[in-house]
Amino acid sequence: MDARKEGEPTPMKNRTTVDRTSDREIVVTRTIDGPARIVWEAFTKPELFKRWWVPKSFGMSLLTCELDVRAGGSYRLVFRHADAGTMAFFGRYLEVTPHSRIVWTNDEGEGEGSVTTATFEEKGGATRLVLHDLYPSKEALDAGIGATEGMPETMDQLNELVVSLRTKQ
C-alpha cells in the first residue's frame, strides 16, 4: 500500500562497446533490458528521448527537442552548456522501420557529418542496440570525434582520462 521509494530492482548493467570498424565507421553496441517496442518509444518520443540522450553528467540542458520520426522527416536538438553556449544538432531521417531500424543524417557537420543507422534486435525480452556511424572520410570521423569532445570541460576530462590510463601503464 505504501509507495516504496525506488523499490524496483535495478537491472544488471550491460556492457557498452565502441569499435572503430574502419577508417570511416564507428559502431556502438549495448543491450537494453526491455522489448524493442519500448526501446523504440524511448528513441522516438521527444519527451522520453530528451531524458536519456542528455545525461545529467553532461552538464547540458536540452532547450529544443523536435523529432519528426518518419522517412524524410527532420529533427532538431538545441543544447545549452554553461561554458559553451548553445549548440544545435539537426538532420533528416532517411529510413524508419518501427521497432527495428532508424537511419538519420547528422547535418550540423556541413558535409562532414555521419549517417547513423540504429538497429533494434529483440531477443528474450531484451533489445540489442547497434548504432553504426558512417562518415564521408577518415578525416571527417577524426574531426567528428573531436567535436564530441568539443566542450572545454570534456576536454579536461579527456585529459584526465589519458593521464590515468598512462599512470596505469
Partner 1 sequence: MVQYTGPRLDASFAALSDPTRRGVLEQLGRSDASITDLAQKFHMTLTGMKKHVGILEEAGLVTTEKIGRVRTCRLGTRRLEDEMAWLERYRQLWEARFDELDTVVQELKKKERIDGRAKRR
- Sign of the C-alpha dihedral, residues 54, 56, 57, 58? positive
What's the min distance (Å) between Cβ of 167 and partner 1?
6
Q: Is 21 in the site for partner 1 (CB under 8 A)?
A: no
Exactly one of 25, 34, 100, 132 binds partner 1 (CB under 8 A); that residue is 34
| Cα distance between residue 144 and residue 111, in whole Å | 11
Q: Measured at the alpha carbon of residue 39, what is the angle toward residues 37 and 41, in degrees to the nearest 5?
A: 70
What's the min distance (Å) between Cβ of 28 and partner 1?
5
Asked if residue 120 lies in contact with residue 100, where contact means CB atoms within 8 angstroms, the answer is: yes
Considering the complex, state which of residue 19 and residue 95 has its C-beta at the smaller distance from partner 1: 19
What's the min distance (Å) between Cβ of 72 and partner 1?
26
What's the min distance (Å) between Cβ of 111 and partner 1?
11
Considering the complex, state which of residue 123 and residue 166 has its C-beta at the smaller distance from partner 1: 166
Exactly one of 42, 62, 84, 130 binds partner 1 (CB under 8 A); that residue is 42
Task: Name residues contacting partner 1, limited to 67-106 (CB under 8 A).
Answer: none
| Cα distance between residue 89 and residue 144, in whole Å | 13
Asked if residue 18 lies in contact with residue 43, where contact means CB atoms within 8 angstroms, the answer is: no
Here the cell at position 142 is 577524426
What's the min distance (Å) between Cβ of 162 and partner 1?
5
Exactly one of 24, 25, 41, 153 binds partner 1 (CB under 8 A); that residue is 41
Residues lying near partner 1 in the complex (CB under 8 A): 8, 11, 13-14, 16-20, 26, 28, 30, 32-35, 38-39, 41-42, 48, 51-53, 55-58, 129, 131, 137-139, 142-143, 145-146, 148-149, 154-155, 157-159, 161-163, 165-167
